């Protein structure tokens, strides 16, 4: 029988609401950069990624109002149909809040597969609204950004969790052996 040592889940500090707003503002700025050409096809929806991150890690602090407001700001910034991003973000965030305990039990790459489905859900909702608004149907490249968003999930998660980890306790002794 092989011995396995199960690590205790890491306890994190709760994120402040100010930090959540700061990360959302940064994501909004990244989305509104003047992306062009092929890069635009692969550019993930940074606002959706950050909203999903906070919906999974701090569902009580995020709620539904902040995704709605961020969606309206994205609609204004993109010149899209008013409410298109707001509806898609609320839909994806609601699903993430419902599934947040399940998603947190997985590793980062397995979480990325769940996030991929949530990003596809948001993109599909925006596509339906655009089609009902009279826009032409885009090609399959429309969903490429979801793949890059899912690929960015692990580094984004590590980056956004850094301030919550805190400083190591200098009085704690770490050993390489078994407990």
pTM score, whole prediction:
0.87
Distance, CA of 97 to CA of 89 (rounded, Å): 12
Task: Tell me 129's DSSP state.
Answer: H
In a domain, 176, yes or no: no
3 state SS of 7:
coil
Q: What is the mean pLDDT of the chain?
A: 90
pLDDT per residue as tens digits for the range 127-169? 999 999 999 989 878 999 999 999 999 999 999 999 887 766 6
Write the pLDDT tens digit of every residue in 48-96: 999 999 999 999 999 899 999 999 999 999 998 999 999 999 999 999 9
Is the CB of residue 148 less than 8 Å from the CB of residue 42? yes
More confident residue, 6 or 9: 9
Residue 16 has pLDDT above 70, yes or no: yes
For the cut 90, the answer to whether the pLDDT of residue 4 exceeds it is no
Burial of residue 102 (number of CB atoms within 10 Å: 0-12, 13-18, 19+): exposed
With respect to residue 136, please indicate whether it lies within any of the assigned structural domains.
yes
In a domain, 95, yes or no: yes
The answer to whether position 122 is within a domain reads: yes
- C-alpha distance from residue 55 to each of 20, 38, 43, 62, 76 (Å): 11, 30, 21, 6, 23
Q: How many domains in the chain?
A: 1
Range of the domain at 42: 17-30+37-162
132 within a domain of the structure (yes/no): yes
In a domain, 168, yes or no: no
120: in domain: yes
**In a domain? residue 47:** yes
Would you say residue 171 has pLDDT above 90? no
């Amino acid at each position: 029988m092989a011995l396995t040592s199960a690590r205790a889940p890491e306890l994190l500090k709760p994120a402040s609401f100010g930090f959540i707003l700061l990360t959302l503002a940064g994501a909004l700025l990244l989305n509104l950069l003047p992306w062009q050409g092929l890069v635009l096809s692969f550019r993930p929806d940074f606002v959706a990624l950050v909203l999903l991150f906070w919906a999974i890690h701090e569902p009580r602090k995020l709620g539904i109002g902040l995704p709605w407001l961020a969606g309206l700001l994205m609609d204004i910034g993109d010149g899209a149909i008013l409410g298109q991003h707001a509806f898609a973000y609320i839909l994806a965030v609601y699903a993430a809040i419902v599934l947040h305990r399940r998603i947190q039990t997985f590793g980062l790459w397995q979480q990325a597969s769940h996030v991929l489905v949530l990003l596809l859900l948001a993109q599909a909702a925006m596509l339906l609204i655009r089609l009902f608004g009279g826009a032409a149907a885009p090609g399959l490249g429309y969903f490429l950004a979801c793949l890059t968003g899912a690929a960015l999930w692990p580094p984004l998660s590590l980056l956004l969790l850094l301030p919550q980890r805190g400083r190591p306790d200098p009085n704690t002794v770490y050993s390489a052996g078994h407990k």
